A and B are shown apart, each in its own frame.
Chain A
Amino acid sequence: MNHLPEVWGRPRNDVYGAYDHSYLQGSHPMQHTQQPIVTGTSVIALKFNGGVVIAADNLASYGSLARFTDVERLKQVGTHTVVGAGGDISDMQHLYEKLLDSLIIKEEYQNDGHSLRASHIYRYLSRVLYHRRCKFDPLWNTILVAGWDDGKPFLASADLLGTTFSSPALATGFGAHLAVPLLRRVCPDENAVKSLTKEKAIETIEECMKVLFYRDARSLNKYSMAVITGEGVEQVPLSGEGKEKVHVEWKKDITLENQSWKFAEGIRGYGAQTV
């Protein structure tokens, strides 16, 4: 006999055969994702006149260990959209490689000239995230969907709870604290989008990535950026339907430049020390 009361007096397998485990199902909780393990930090994005720019660094952390330094967290989905994900990397890979890839393949089976626009991708992703939170089995991510939709730039956010919102300047994680105030300086509302140039938007995003590298301990000085630009709606003859021209420009493995560290040479001690 052992010390575990629950096994006392059970019929012996060698006499009565093995216990039917199916009776035990549901007697203890299913194991779901309870915390993120390998994580990505902020994704930041900004609308400008004629498009959206989105960026995320290439780091996947394992706690405080900077474990993988060559991870692409932005993904082009179809022709109109770039999705960026922060949070758990395995859940991100599930979203990208299982759900979004097969979504695009299914759409292309139709071969009807129609392609999924940014709002369609966003709606799909936000419903998946909300559905999973309702099953108590969340995908531990915060995502930004950037793209071109119906003649306008598109930018919106969704998280592991299924919370959705949209704004001309968005950032996830640490970026919500550090980058959003900087982005809102150049783009406080939808009106400001109309007067914001692509060059100024890219410059602002680069500046934010630098601030995030200074202040976010789980960030990296190597990042990717995608610039989605659309050219309004081009009229297709006969059908009268509009066809959008969307261009996605990728910049990968960007290294942060012009960092300011020179001032550190003059710092001595924590108070009275002078040498």
Chain B
Amino acid sequence: MSLSSVEPLSFDPAYSFEASQSRDHSGAPRQHSFNPYTDNGGTILGITGDDFVVLAGDTRHTAGYNINSRTERKVYRLGDNNLILATVGFGADSKDVAETMTRAVNDFKFNHNLKNMTVNAAAQYLFTVLYGNRFFPKYTHCILAGLDKDGKGRLYSYDSVGSYSKEGERRAAAGAASSLIVPFLDNQVEFKNQYLPASNGTQERPVEDLPKETVIKLVKDAFTSATERHIEVGDGLQIITVTKDGVFEEMTELKKD
């Protein structure tokens, strides 16, 4: 019997499976230690009225306990029409989605005889952008808003893989302090758990569209409250209002601690 028959075959450089030797003994592929996601904090919020819509976000950008920037905006105008988008979550993905949407809205105008993209078309497109990354999701929560053909305020909110309600919503909040803000909006915008006085809890308070001034007040109250109780919310507040007269931006201060 020749010696070669007892030698490990894999030592022969010509043998076909020498590459398999470089694997570790568990046989499982080695895990990447690189994590492609992070959380940059922040919160966004949107409320519709009858003929307007408000989108707001704080301007703090965080990395763990660090504040990267106190002035990083996360509510974007998409093109020069009445579409606005707020994104929160992983900062790099958020900005990438906002950029993709801005480009889509501009391209639509060039490709369709200078017709503006409608808000429901933009909403459907944003779904395809997010769902297109279904298996490597954009780690971002979006709220899209604008006025529809009849001048009514429309608001759509998304999860990170694109789920959204085609009917739109009256109010939406996302991000770090959404759990602090959503219950407040349920009560103050949807009038949940409110009953007409003297009805002995049998007649719910009827839901009605709020005037713009009230909505702005609610937005500011929501964010000052969130700033008190969430460490990733603060520094500045960006409020964008869309009406038939145009898009208006307001910047106010939040606590910086």
Contact = CB atoms under 8 A, between A and B. Distances in A.
Interface of A: 1-4, 6-7, 10, 13, 18-19, 21, 24, 28-29, 32-35, 130, 133-134, 136, 138, 157, 161-167, 176-177, 180, 189-190
Interface string B138-175: 00000000000000000000000000000000000000
B8 A165 contact: no
A158 to B, nearest CB: 9
Contacts of B14: 13, 18
27 contacts: A2-B9, A4-B8, A7-B9, A7-B20, A10-B16, A13-B15, A13-B16, A18-B14, A19-B16, A24-B19, A28-B19, A29-B29, A29-B32, A34-B34, A35-B33, A130-B92, A130-B96, A136-B34, A161-B37, A163-B63, A163-B91, A165-B68, A165-B69, A167-B68, A167-B69, A167-B71, A190-B71
Main secondary structure of the interface of B (DSSP, over half): loop
A35 B23 CA distance: 19
Nearest to A35: B33
B91 A2 contact: no
B19 A133 contact: no
B11 to A, nearest CB: 9
Contacts of A189: 70-71
A136 B68 contact: no
Contacts of B21: 4
A138 B34 CA distance: 8
A24 B21 CA distance: 13
B30 interface: yes
A160 to B, nearest CB: 8
Interface in B88-125: 90-92, 95-96
Interface in B1-30: 5, 7-10, 12, 14-17, 19-23, 29-30
A134 B93 CA distance: 10
Interface residues of B, number: 38
Given A4-B8, A136-B36, A163-B90, 4 more contacts: A28-B23, A163-B92, A164-B91, A190-B71
A189 B136 CA distance: 36
B72 interface: yes
B16 A167 contact: no
B227 interface: no
Interface of B: 5, 7-10, 12, 14-17, 19-23, 29-30, 32-34, 36-38, 40, 61, 63, 66, 68-72, 90-92, 95-96, 136
A164 B70 CA distance: 13
Nearest to B15: A13
B73 to A, nearest CB: 10
Central interface residue in B30, B36, B40, B92, by most chain A CB within 10 Å:
B92
Nearest to A4: B10
Given A24-B19, A29-B30, A167 B70 contact: yes
A138 to B, nearest CB: 6
A180 B66 CA distance: 10
B32 A134 contact: no
A79 B115 CA distance: 41
Contacts of B66: 176-177, 180
A7 B20 CA distance: 9
B9 A162 contact: no
A176 B68 CA distance: 8
Contact of A18 (B16, B23, B72): B16
A61 to B, nearest CB: 19
Contact of B10 (A2, A34, A35, A165): A2
Contacts of B29: 28-29
B32 A133 contact: no
B69 A161 contact: no
A136 B32 contact: yes
Contacts of A176: 63, 66, 68
B92 A161 contact: yes
Contacts of B40: 163
A41 to B, nearest CB: 16
Nearest to A156: B69
Contacts of B22: 28
